[in-house]
Amino acid sequence: MAREKRRQPYDLTIIKNASPEELAQIEDFLVSRPVSDWRDVQALAALDSPRARALLRKTLKSRDHHLATAVKEHAPGLLSEEEQTRTLVAALKGYDTDFGTMEALHQVEQLHPPEIVDALFRGVLTRNGKTAIHFAAMLMFVRGKADSSFDWEQRPFFLKFNTEVRAEREAAFRELCEKLGVDGSCYLAATLGEPSTPRSQNSPK
């Protein structure tokens, strides 16, 4: 799966080689200002002091899912599996084709309980076409129908999701469900604003 180019990270060897006095100065600098991007998260995780961990936990509750996802990546020990899942589900629902969604999808490769799989199925129908391509590819991977999170041999099929025409997206979704051996009617109903139908024995779990 293609990932967007990020800004250069901070030089974390400075933290690794710092004296106690220098670490105190670095900590004061990092915790005295708002966390602005993933580089701040990475530096705080490397610092791993009580104040740094407290700020990371505060950041995890931010409405900025990009930052919350970064906390999960760089400081996973701060989160329970339930918190990790909740963070990823929020990111999958809340972004388009920016770094936040792509980074969340990268993490989904390793963590995909039913709540995340559910968000992927819904996103295939509701997200923009470019994002839906990657959601479909990830579903093929997590359901064991592909060897990677973006199987390039199946790219022609994934590209069918790059449409904003509902009928075309539904046709691609039904083909996906057939490949996965699941009943996706509950998602089709829910994303049209209709009550979800009960899941059959073969529905996504």
- Which is more confident, 34 or 203? 34
Q: Supply angle C-alpha 180, 181, 182, rounded to 5.
A: 95
What is the predicted pLDDT for the residue at 198?
A: 35
Question: Of 75, 65, 142, which is closest to residue 102 (Cα–Cα)?
Answer: 65
- Give the domain ranges of the chain: 1-111, 113-205
Q: Which two tokens stand for residue 151?
A: 């199987």
What is the predicted pLDDT for the residue at 106?
A: 84
Which residue type occupies 192? L
Q: Is the pLDDT of residue 137 over 60?
A: yes
What is the predicted pLDDT for the residue at 84?
A: 81
Q: How confident is the model at residue 190 (pLDDT cuts 50, 70, 90)?
A: confident
Q: pLDDT per residue over 20-65, tens digit each?
A: 899 999 999 999 988 988 899 999 999 989 999 899 988 877 777 7
User: What is Dmax (Cα atoms) for the chain?
Assistant: 63
Question: Of 3, 4, 53, 58, which is closest to residue 27 (Cα–Cα)?
Answer: 53
Q: Is the pLDDT of residue 194 over 70?
A: no
Q: pLDDT per residue over 58-109, tens digit each?
A: 887 777 778 888 888 888 888 788 888 888 888 888 754 455 678 788 889 8
